[in-house]
Amino acid sequence: MKQMKLTTPLPPEVLERIRNGRKAVEGEEANIIRCPKCRHVLMKKYSDAKGHIDCKCTKCGEEFVVDLFSWRRAR
Ligand SMILES: [Zn+2]
């Protein structure tokens, strides 16, 4: 994943997408996805998230695939 540089302001359609996304999950509790190796918190998913995503741990560098549909809350 490339690091985003914030030298230019975000275009309005991107800002709106961010706003809409936040609104869509308002009041919903997110499930935390942790690195299976070092337990570092990588991201949070909401109940309507489905499909597979490629993850790379920002802490230990472990790469793995997350099945969003079946991934359960880490204990
Ligand atoms: Zn890790």
Q: Compute, in angstroms, the gap from residue 21 CA to the centroid of ligand 1.
A: 27
Q: Compute, in angstroms, the gap from residue 9 CA to the centroid of ligand 1.
A: 31
Q: How many domains does the chain have?
A: 1
Q: What is the pLDDT of residues 6-35, one digit of tens each?
A: 678 899 999 999 999 999 999 999 999 999
> Dihedrals φ, ψ of 23, to 5°?
-65, -40
Query: What confidence score (pLDDT) does residue 75 get?
Result: 43
Q: What is the pLDDT of residues 28-71, one digit of tens each?
A: 999 999 999 999 999 999 989 999 999 999 999 999 999 998 87
Residue 13 lies in a domain: no
Residue 71 lies in a domain: yes
Q: Compute, in angstroms, the gap from residue 5 CA to the centroid of ligand 1.
A: 24
Query: What confidence score (pLDDT) does residue 16 get?
Result: 96
Q: Compute, in angstroms, the gap from residue 16 CA to the centroid of ligand 1.
A: 32
Structural domain span for residue 73: 47-75
CA separation for the pair 15, 75 (Å, rounded): 34
CA separation for the pair 61, 44 (Å, rounded): 18
Residue 63 lies in a domain: yes
